């Protein structure tokens, strides 16, 4: 039975109207506006485990998980307790505290490539700082990024970006001076030959190759055979740094991150999302010699009022301690597997061309007859049909990312009942877009 909640989302509609008089576009992050799926944002009242409950009382199986952080399920008692206890001792000191040391130790214990880390407040800050460090360490200015990869709203990286930028079809943002964009070199994802050619011509000017080891901002796009190893080889050959943006894949695809799965060691790693468990925490890190070029030990400046604040640290520590439990990622992967195979079977049953993929708790779907390997493939997917599918799923109580250029996320709280509810809703929703 379709939970036809369109008419009954009256409080959401009312709040959105009020929000548009205050917040730009009624939102604090563009993709939430739902413009890619023709659906005004639904306002959330609260979240619990695998579910979101909107302000009109409707419950949804959450397949976004706050874009990754909610990996242990929303409002996990241990995380809430840790945050409440920390908050009772003050929200932020602007000074050192033990919990930032503990979170740093936890992260370093999971990532052999990291000997030193700097905690910041957003993935954008992490990638921006990593690029600045790479430029300082190499004395070079150019950065290679990949079409369709998104690394936050850093001026120099909002060039052919994915995620919200791709959703709006404005990959190059207004306000980014041409001089900045000129320092960003672009190559198609999963095209080693193109990167090889780019580095042959510009390699001596390139400070870093920045890559999402699994691209999660043009759907779910895994690296092809040899792609990441080619980047490692090219960086070594030309004296550039390999920077893995694991803001999305870090502690989501495996303990530590996808580098521990693929076996490719980056020079710098950016993290975010899961390491804060829903609070604003991100980080960048690498070898001691590289990171000690960052202030106060070195000449590369980077700072942050709320960096390492005790409440966010408590959320991150509590979350990672749950992720570190035996079998966590095997369990999480089995949930992704159950969901993607259910979606695939539901689409196949009615002749909808669907591609699915997953790694750990990160997964994706694409309405395409062939696998998505790069941004051109992602743009060629049926985004109109995805918008219809999105609305049909929302009306059936399933919360998808509001864009075909996003990945999906499950948590350890997504039990078989939650996953099967999503699959049942998909069976009916694929019928809406079936040929
Ligand atoms: P933030 O600045 O949003 O914390 O992180 C930026 C970022 C960096 N790197 C990667 C690989 C990312 O996926 C992100 C942010 N992800 C998007 C979702 N595709 C956040 C959602 C949003 O923009 O509202």
Q: So what's the pLDDT on residue 382?
A: 98
Q: What is the pLDDT of residues 68-99, one digit of tens each?
A: 999 999 999 999 999 999 999 999 999 999 99
With respect to residue 278, please indicate whether it lies within any of the assigned structural domains. yes
For residue 2, is pLDDT > 80? no
Give percent above pLDDT 70 in the chain: 97
Instruction: Print burial letters for 390-428: b (CB count within 10 Å at least 16), e (below 16).
Output: bbbbbbbbbbbbbbbbbbbbbbbbbeeebbebbbebbbb
Q: So what's the pLDDT on residue 1?
A: 41
Q: So what's the pLDDT on residue 182?
A: 87
If DSSP codes are grouped into helix, strand and coil, which group holds residue 223?
A: coil
Residue 120 sits in a domain whose CATH number is 3.40.640.10
Task: Please tell me the pTM assigned to this model.
Answer: 0.97
Give the end of a domain, one of 275, 302, 323: 323
> Is 317 in the same domain as 396?
no
Contact (CB, 8 A) for 336 and 362: yes
Number of domains in the chain: 2
Catalytic residue among 40, 191, 258, 273: 273
Residue closest to 335 by CA, chosen among 250, 252, 265:
252
For residue 170, is pLDDT > 80? no
Contact (CB, 8 A) for 150 and 135: no
User: Could you tell me which residues come within 8 angstroms of residue 94 by beta carbon, excluding any fewer than 6 positions away?
Assistant: 305
- CA pseudo-torsion sign 112, 293, 230, 209: positive
With respect to residue 149, please indicate whether it lies within any of the assigned structural domains. yes
Q: What is the pLDDT of residues 94-111, one digit of tens each?
A: 999 999 999 999 999 999
Ligand 1 centre and the CA of 122: distance in Å? 8
How many whole angstroms separate alpha carbon 359 and alpha carbon 340? 11
How many whole angstroms separate alpha carbon 121 and alpha carbon 105? 18
> Is 101 in the same domain as 129?
yes
> Is 94 in the same domain as 225?
yes
- Residue 394 CA, distance from chain mean position: 21
> Is 53 in the same domain as 96?
no
Q: So what's the pLDDT on residue 166?
A: 62
With respect to residue 217, please indicate whether it lies within any of the assigned structural domains. yes
> Is 266 in the same domain as 398?
no
Which ligand 1 atom is nearest residue 270's CA? Answer: 9
Ligand 1 probe mutation, 25, 130, 151, most atoms within 8 A of CB: 151
Residues with CB under 6 A from ligand 1: 29, 31, 67, 122-124, 127, 150-152, 163-164, 212, 216-217, 245, 247-248, 272, 282, 406
If DSSP codes are grouped into helix, strand and coil, which group holds residue 425?
A: helix
207 phi and psi angles, rounded to 5 deg: -80, -40
Q: Is 150 a catalytic residue?
A: yes
> Is 314 in the same domain as 331?
no
If DSSP codes are grouped into helix, strand and coil, which group holds residue 211?
A: strand
Q: What is the pLDDT of residues 214-264, one digit of tens each?
A: 999 999 999 999 999 999 999 999 999 999 999 999 999 999 999 999 999
> Is 317 in the same domain as 331?
no
> Is 318 in the same domain as 340?
no
Contact (CB, 8 A) for 196 and 235: no
Report how far apart the first and last C-alpha atoms of the chain are (Å, whole number): 22
For residue 393, is pLDDT > 50? yes
> Is 272 in the same domain as 299?
yes
Catalytic residue among 40, 62, 245, 382: 245
> Is 345 in the same domain as 300?
no
Q: Is 258 a catalytic residue?
A: no
- CA pseudo-torsion sign 256, 259, 260, 261: positive
Question: Which residue shows structure tokens 């069976």?
Answer: 427
**Mean pLDDT of all residues belonging to the chain:** 95
For residue 434, is pLDDT > 90? yes
With respect to residue 410, please indicate whether it lies within any of the assigned structural domains. yes
Q: In what order do the strands lie in the sheet with 398-399?
A: 44-48, 51-54, 59-62, 398-399
Contact (CB, 8 A) for 242 and 258: no
Task: Give the burial class of 11: count Cβ atoms within 10 A of its Cβ; 0-12 exposed, 13-18 middle, 19 or more buried.
Answer: middle
> Is 129 in the same domain as 258?
yes
How many whole angstroms separate alpha carbon 114 and alpha carbon 285? 6
- Please name the residue whose Cα sits nearest to atom 9 of ligand 1: 151
Task: Give the burial class of 123: count Cβ atoms within 10 A of its Cβ; 0-12 exposed, 13-18 middle, 19 or more buried.
Answer: buried
Ligand 1 centre and the CA of 123: distance in Å? 6
> Is 344 in the same domain as 275?
no
Give the end of a domain, one of 323, 354, 377: 323
With respect to residue 233, please indicate whether it lies within any of the assigned structural domains. yes
Per-residue pLDDT band for 178 (boundaries 50, 70, 90) equals confident
Per-residue pLDDT band for 169 (boundaries 50, 70, 90) equals very low
Q: So what's the pLDDT on residue 120?
A: 98
Q: So what's the pLDDT on residue 173?
A: 83
With respect to residue 369, please indicate whether it lies within any of the assigned structural domains. yes
- Please name the residue whose Cα sits nearest to atom 1 of ligand 1: 123
Give the end of a domain, one of 297, 323, 349: 323
Residue 394 sits in a domain whose CATH number is 3.90.1150.10
With respect to residue 423, please indicate whether it lies within any of the assigned structural domains. yes
Expressed as residue numbers, the domain containing 382 is: 5-63+327-433
Averaged pLDDT for residues 13-28: 98
With respect to residue 72, please indicate whether it lies within any of the assigned structural domains. no
């Amino acid at each position: 039975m379709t939970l036809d909640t369109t008419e009954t989302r009256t409080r959401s509609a009312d709040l959105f109207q009020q929000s548009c008089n205050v917040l730009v576009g009624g939102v604090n992050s563009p993709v939430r506006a739902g413009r890619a799926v023709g659906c005004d944002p639904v306002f959330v009242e609260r979240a619990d485990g695998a579910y979101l409950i909107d302000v009109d009382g409707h419950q949804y199986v959450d397949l976004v998980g706050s874009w990754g952080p909610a990996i242990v399920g929303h409002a996990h008692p241990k995380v809430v307790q840790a945050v409440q206890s920390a908050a009772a001792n003050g929200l932020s000191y602007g000074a050192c505290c033990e919990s930032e040391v503990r979170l740093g130790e936890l992260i370093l214990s999971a990532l052999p490539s990291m000997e030193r880390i700097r905690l910041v407040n957003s993935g954008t800050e992490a990638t921006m700082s990593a690029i600045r460090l790479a430029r300082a360490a190499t004395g070079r200015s150019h950065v290679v990024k990949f079409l369709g990869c998104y690394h936050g709203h850093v001026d120099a990286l909002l060039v052919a970006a994915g995620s919200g930028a791709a959703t709006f079809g404005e990959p190059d943002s207004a306000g980014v001076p041409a001089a900045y964009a000129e320092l960003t070199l672009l190559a198609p994802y999963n095209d080693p030959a193109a990167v090889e050619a780019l580095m042959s011509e510009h390699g001596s000017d390139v400070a870093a190759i920045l890559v999402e080891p699994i691209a999660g901002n043009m759907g779910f796009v895994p690296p092809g055979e040899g792609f990441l190893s080619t980047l490692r080889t090219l960086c070594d050959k030309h004296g550039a740094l390999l920077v893995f943006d694991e803001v999305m894949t870090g502690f989501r695809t495996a303990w530590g991150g996808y580098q521990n799965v693929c076996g490719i060691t980056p020079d710098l790693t950016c993290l975010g999302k899961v390491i804060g468990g829903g609070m604003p925490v991100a980080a960048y890190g690498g070898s001691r010699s590289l990171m000690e070029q960052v202030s106060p030990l070195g000449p590369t400046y980077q700072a942050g009022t709320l960096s390492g604040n005790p409440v966010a640290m408590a959320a991150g520590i509590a979350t990672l301690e749950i992720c570190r439990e035996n079998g966590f990622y095997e369990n999480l992967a089995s949930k992704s597997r159950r969901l993607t195979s259910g979606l695939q079977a539901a689409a196949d049953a009615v002749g909808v061309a669907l591609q699915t993929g997953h790694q750990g708790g990160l997964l994706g779907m694409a309405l395409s007859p062939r696998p998505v390997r790069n941004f051109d493939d992602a743009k060629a997917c049926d985004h109109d049909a995805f918008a219809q599918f999105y609305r049909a799923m929302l009306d059936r109580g399933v919360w998808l990312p509001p864009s075909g250029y996003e990945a999906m996320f499950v948590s350890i709280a997504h039990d078989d009942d939650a996953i099967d509810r999503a699959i049942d809703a998909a069976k009916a929703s694929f019928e809406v877009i079936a040929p």
